[in-house]
Structure 1
Amino acid sequence: MAHCTRSNRLNRTLRAVAELKARQARRRLDFTHKLTTDLAKSHGPVAIEDLRVKQMTKSAKGTRNAPGVRVSQKSGLNCAIFDNVPGERRRQLAHKCPAHGPLLVAVSPAGTSQTCGDDADHNASVVIHT
């Protein structure tokens, strides 16, 4: 059996890709820390959607007998959801809000994507009519 080794160029390329991905992850985490700190320090009660990320990001590949549809589209959506790190934001807010004072409220996600009939530019969950 032949023994395959990686070339130096391939090793350099793989190392460079790994460094770029690590830098991207650090930037994402830094942004999340800054965002949650700002929300906890300079805002009143903080409301977040009580999302079930695990169910939202289930694979769409299906089974052999019933293959999934739009699998690559769902895969891209899953990447976007994971890139947004909602679980980490919630974890950090749960840690920082009690320390800085504001109340953290988990809101049911039902109906939060609907637009208001009076003003289509605003989200129905945040529009307050007086």
Structure 2
Amino acid sequence: MTVSRDAAGRWFVSLLCEDGIAPAPATAATIGLDAGITSLVTLSTGEKVTNPKHERRDRARLARARRELSRTAKDSADREKARRRVGKVHARIADRRRDFLHKLTTRLVRENQTVVIEDLTVRNLLKNGKLARAISDASWTELRSMLEYKCAWYGRELVVTDRWFPGSKLCGTCGAVREKLPLNVREGTCDCGTVHDRDVNAARNILAAGPAAAACGDGVGPQRESSRTGRSSVKQGNQRATAGIPRL
């Protein structure tokens, strides 16, 4: 048993015990996910899950608490109270974000036998000064981590496409790949005449590329093992070329 207290002054008790989770009933459903900022994830079914932007919603409250903290004297009782108020705002943001991600990932894992996601280099994306705060608020790394261990728990498979796979630039109808696709372009028309929603098209291409890479075994291997089940559920698909991708 471990007893701890966070920056908001809340006490927690953590119990370590042996446990096991029964696999969920098998299903034939497969889903592809495209992560974003406006829509936290876009599903290959066309559904878009809106990003709740928890940090942005409490940004004014957090700024006010930080200003009050900066005005207090060092090592004073008022400073400790102000520090706790800042911690409570951070805890409120983190708790809401974690609760939202838990509900989303649990739903996706229970409804689908295979979940296909893209391998995002979040560390490099955070170097973009204009988007770093929004990317941190989206918490894509935590989303992937939850999908990994929940797939292992419930006997699902998580397939990760190669980070260089051109999901957004690839036309899911004719297979043509655009040379450039700026972030402000959310919808476009391919030379074949197909009108694509950028995020939905990317999610469908990710869905098509993941199982294809897993089936041929090219660059596929276990990435994570759950301590509660002993099963590995993550597969990494090395899909640098568009040849062999099934058309939708």
TM-score relative to the length of structure 1 = 0.69
Q: Distance in 2 between matches of 1:12 and 1:98?
A: 42
Kindly provide the amino acid, as one letter, of the partner of residue 82 in structure 1: S
- How far did 1:124 drift? 4.1
Distance 2:149 2:140 in 1: 14
Alignment of 1:1-130 (within 5 A): 5=73, 12-58=81-127, 74-109=128-163, 110-114=165-169, 116=171, 117=190, 118-121=194-197, 122-126=200-204, 129-130=247-248
CA contact (8 A) 1:57 1:81 kept: yes
Aligned to 1:126, what secondary structure does the other structure show? helix
On the 8 A contact 1:37/1:96 being kept in 2, the answer is yes
Q: Which amino acid aligns with 1:91?
A: S
Contact 1:40 1:102 in 2 (8 A): yes
Please identify runs of 4+ aligned residues in structure 1 that moved more than 4 A: 6-14, 127-130
Structure 2, unaligned runs of 5 or more: 1-71, 172-189, 209-246
Question: Would you say how many aligned residue pairs link Structure 1 and Structure 2?
Answer: 112
Distance 1:87 1:124, change over 3 A: closer
In structure 2, how many angstroms separate the alpha carbons of the residues matched to 1:97 and 1:90?
10
Q: 1:50–1:108: 8 Å Cα contact kept in structure 2?
A: yes
* Whole-Å separation in 2 of the counterparts to 1:79 and 1:93: 23
Query: Per residue, is there more helix in 1 or in 2?
Result: 1
Cα shift at 1:45: 0.8
Taking the aligned partners of 2:105 and 2:138, their CA distance within structure 1 comes to 13
Q: Which structure 1 residue ranges, 5 or more long, are not aligned?
A: 59-73
| CA RMSD after TM alignment | 2.6
Partner letter of residue 81 of structure 1? Answer: I
Cα 1:124/1:95, change in 2 over 3 Å: closer
| Percent of aligned pairs sharing the same letter | 36
Q: 1:41 to 1:125 in 2, by over 3 A?
A: closer
- Give me the whole-angstrom Cα distance separating, in 1, the residues matched to 2:89 and 2:161: 36
- Conservation of the 8 A alpha-carbon contact between 2:117 and 2:160: yes
